[in-house]
Structure 1
């Protein structure tokens, strides 16, 4: 490769862009905020124009800081965010329904008799988190015009004119035949989407067009879901390893090799990436609220921001008997109960901000532990170590809590922007056929390693308390 690449990570709360040189590393960065709208009833929307503008703003800033031209572009997307749009003009016909949006629950309820069939076909449980229920909801309640796709297809079309989506993103729709990596006619029929014009499913590293949106023409050669891009950057490229990204939500992915692994623990089976015609798969578990739960605590005035977690949590030695199930947007894997609301129990007159912060850290970490345990069950062997990235990994309190409850080492990535770095690698692979995957990836080393500091017995007791709190929520919800 003879030059730098531009890697853009279009996320839920903002878009990050990096200019990455193969010899010098990151030489330019840019960021543009995106503020989704949270409305009553679990509705979460974003302005499509803002999504696109944020890509251009972040990318332009990164290029300006680098002061160099780039040879390729990679674009990561949110995965399950959808909208309807006019393919002739590129004009959005609806707001973007963000992955956290729950309005398509009615579609899922209607399809409950086909839930197991859909899981067998696509690897995904029936839940409005995924793209297909939102796509069907838009068609039933909003507009029959244009096309309805995940946000990446619209962004790529705006940038290049191409009508494509990558294999990993297509695998997050519940419309992809997981074994054959092509659209499933049966799934489309079940969702009432059989007549839809769908984007072509392409590999994650190949030329799909070119854009002049940033100035000089740049080939677009890499596409992926944000979490899969982070998995690649963390060098989890073979079975046995897992990573967790702590962003708006927390997402644990475990590599399963060249065959999809369909377990019964509640984890999602999906495409990790498709490179040079070869497909790799992963197990995926989700925590709907991570940084968004910290933001909620901030909005209440308990802390001033995520940077306060350690300082405020450090004022007390433990949770003071408080248990927090931070299901502020429902519970995802392994329960798939988006209808549940969070709980905060064990409060007393002596409860202070530090106890609430520690209880939140415990609640987030406990959910990740349950995902790791589920992945180990489906894989048939325990995970040796967990590699982590994302903004919340800056909290030593949260990371130590994670290691304590997991009873395994937690390796914090020294890569502050793993998703964008993974996209840079995919863009490079797409621009330079024959390049080995390992040679395209950033050098990986941990910035910190957290070892468990409590006994397995204490970890078990704390996990038992969290499980009991979740069980109580389930019993209350089910009457």
Structure 2
């Protein structure tokens, strides 16, 4: 039998593991250096056997889905990842096939389970499954048949730019942020739903006939994983609901004032029930496949899940995820903070009905890892993101280049929707390395702007920043980040922080953990800490040039549509 290509490689996570190919089942397992087939556990002899208890985590992101099985010490035991199509019919549009989203999750579960079973485990060893997913991406489907009525419109999509401008001039626009924590922008799901009602006849008809179901990716997945139209489980959690611009940030319930503002009759729409992020029964059970019958016990938006994965349970802690975009969440405690400096008020997490919700301030950067993808796909910068990092390291600095990666405007704290991507400072001496470095730096400068705003909103300066996501693997990017924000940047050795957060929340629901203090050592070993190397004066000078570049990129569209 020819040897298959390993669909996942854990060597980056566990340097003390050797791959073992099992030809009888055409799968990979892992063997520790001392010969035992399994994953080495950090705490093998714990009396509570956390290394023998397992939780699955569905991590459905903007460009790919994955399923990871963790033991309850936080080690990933098996995983599988699958990319799915991104649909860009023209500039500013970003769609996904709803059925592909669901199918990709099932494929990941099936393949990861093959690996899990090959290690000698069984389905019954998995106590629960958690879900984390991209947030503002909006979906609509027929409540009676379960069939999608349009493609999923992803969160980076900017087709609602003109709608947003209209709503900003409407009476009551300034009150929205005090109710839901979100300013008017193309980012939340609200304007996307309005656009669908105005432009898609099938959606209009379903709305008028009371057959229209609306939700974000989490509720669409839960609906389908629970058997779809046959059982009609329609639920979301507080973190995802807080991104729609329909939920009151204070009451955690849908607010009629918000629906009235957008001209939507909520009685004509099937809306998902809003529940805490961790619950033993509300999210139902997986209906079919290798995990048939296993309970789903958590649901979190991806950025909130990363906050949980970093165990940032105390007010004053923060994390930054460098994924397709860049998302910084700052735990502000049990009372919401409405930003005065361009940030978003959101829900961090709610670990069960008996616990109060924990709120966060968020700063969102539209382009982070997608900037690196742009270099690879559009400008021919290799086909491997690690190579982009290598070419960035081939030059000592950015050579005077500043890349304002405003492919769809700038998000927090600027909220400039008429800016477009612009590179300043190009000379005849500019090399690919300078542009690559400037692309990494763009996410770091915007993170700096967000942290400055958070300090003004909270009155406190962050002591350190925990990081995760694909771009955080770049040492040059993380060193630049530390230089810009002038505080240490901490990168965990195990990078699957978002999925880990879903697993932690699922574990709370089934009683594996009962108190946050039990998790204080989770994923803390072997962290890499980047400390500032630039002087404060040098850092300030570089940031001043970035700020000038942002101002020069402003107004590129002159208020016109694309």
Correspondence for 1:173: 244
**1:65 pairs with 2:115:** yes
- Matched residue, 1:74: 130
Any idea what the Cα deviations from partners look like across 1:67-108, whole Å, max 9, x if unmatched?
132121111111100111012222111100000011122332
Deviation at 1:184, TM superposition (A): 0.7
Partner residue, 1:217:
293
CA distance in 2, matches of 1:28, 1:71: 15
What do residues 148-170 of structure 1 show as CA deviations (whole Å, max 9, x unaligned)? 22121111111114110101100
- Of the structure 1 ranges 44-53 and 357-366, higher mean CA displacement relative to structure 2 is found in 357-366
Residue number in structure 1 paired with 2:43? none
Query: Which is further off, 425-434 or 118-127?
Result: 425-434
**Does structure 2 retain, via aligned residues, the 8 Å contact 1:99–1:130?**
yes
Matched, 1:401 2:480: yes
Q: Specify the alignment match of 2:469 in structure 1.
A: 390
Per-residue deviation, residues 295-326 of structure 1 (Å, max 9, x unmatched)? 00112113433101332112211111111111
Higher strand share: 1
Question: Secondary structure of 2:165's partner?
Answer: helix
Match of residue 292 from structure 1: 370
SS in 2 for 1:147: strand
CA shift for structure 1 position 437: 3.3
**Aligned in 2, Cα 1:391/1:72: closer, same or farther, shift over 3 Å?**
same
2:271 is the alignment partner of 1:198: yes
Deviation of residue 434 (structure 1)? 6.9
Q: 1:255 aligns with which of 309, 325, 331?
A: 331
Match of 1:154 in 2: 220
The match for 1:137 among 188, 192, 195 is 195
Partner of residue 433, structure 2: 354
CA drift of 1:477 comes to 5.1
Partner SS, residue 311 of structure 1: helix
The answer on 1:419 being equivalent to 2:498 is yes
Instruction: Provide the C-alpha distance between the structure 2 equivalents of 1:477 and 1:23, rounded to a whole number of angstroms.
Output: 51
Deviation at 1:23, TM superposition (A): 4.9
CA contact 2:365–2:412 (8 Å) conserved in 1: yes
Distance in 1 between residues matched to 2:555 and 2:262, nearest whole Å: 31
State the SS of the aligned residue for 2:527. strand
Please give the alpha-carbon distance, in whole angstroms, between the structure 2 residues aligned to 1:164 and 1:49: 18
Distance 2:526 2:189 in 1: 34
Instruction: Pick closer, same or farther for the CA change 1:150–1:475 going to 2, 3 Å.
Output: closer
Stretch moving more, 277-286 or 296-305: 296-305
Query: Would the aligned equivalents of 1:411 and 1:446 in 2 still touch at CA under 8 Å?
Result: no
Question: Aligned partners of 1:321 and 1:434: how far apart in 2?
Answer: 51
CA RMSD of aligned residues (A): 1.7
Greater displacement, 388-397 / 299-308? 299-308
1:226 maps to which of 291, 302, 305 = 302
So what's the TM-score if we normalise by structure 2?
Answer: 0.82
Instruction: Please say if 1:94 is aligned against 2:174.
Output: no
Q: What is the aligned partner in structure 1 of residue 79 from structure 2?
A: 29
For residues 526 and 337 of structure 2, what CA distance do their matches in structure 1 show? Answer: 28
Q: Is the 8 A contact 2:143 2:270 kept in 1?
A: no
SS of residue paired to 2:413: coil
The answer as to 2:350 corresponding to 1:274 is: yes
Post-superposition shift, 1:433?
Answer: 7.9
TM-score normalised according to structure 1 size = 0.96
Task: Choose 430-439 or 399-408, whichever is displaced more.
Answer: 430-439
Distance in 2 (CA, whole Å) between partners of 1:310 and 1:107 is 39
Which moves more between the two structures, 311-320 or 242-251? 311-320
Could you tell me whether the CA contact under 8 Å between 1:309 and 1:395 is conserved in 2? no
Deviation of the 1:478 alpha carbon:
5.4
CA deviations over 1:180-232 (Å, ceiling 9, x no partner): 10001100111122232211101111122111333331111100100000001
Partner residue in 2 for 1:435? 514
Q: Secondary structure at the match of 2:414?
A: coil
Alignment of 1:112-127 (within 5 A): 112=168, 113=170, 114-127=172-185
How far apart, in 1, do the equivalents of 2:412 and 2:74 lie?
39
Q: Cα distance 1:24–1:423, how it changes in 2: closer, same or farther (>3 A)?
A: closer
Q: Give the 5 Å matches for 1:48-59.
A: 48-59=98-109
Deviates more, 1:284-293 or 1:339-348: 339-348
Structure 1: gaps of 5 or more residues: none
Partner SS, residue 357 of structure 2:
strand
**What CA distance in whole angstroms lies between the structure 2 residues aligned with 1:336 and 1:103?**
16
Rounded to whole Å, the distance in 2 between the matches of 1:257 and 1:102 is: 32
Displacement after TM superposition at 1:439 (Å): 2.9
Shift of 1:50: 0.8
How many equivalent residue pairs? 479
The answer to whether the Cα contact below 8 Å between 1:72 and 1:427 also exists between their aligned partners in 2 is yes
CA-to-aligned-CA distance 1:270-312 (integer Å, 9 cap, x gap): 1111123311100011110111110001121134331013321
Distance in 2, matches of 1:24 and 1:239, equals 23
Corresponding residue number in structure 2 for 1:460: 540
Distance of 1:193 and 1:238 partners within structure 2: 37
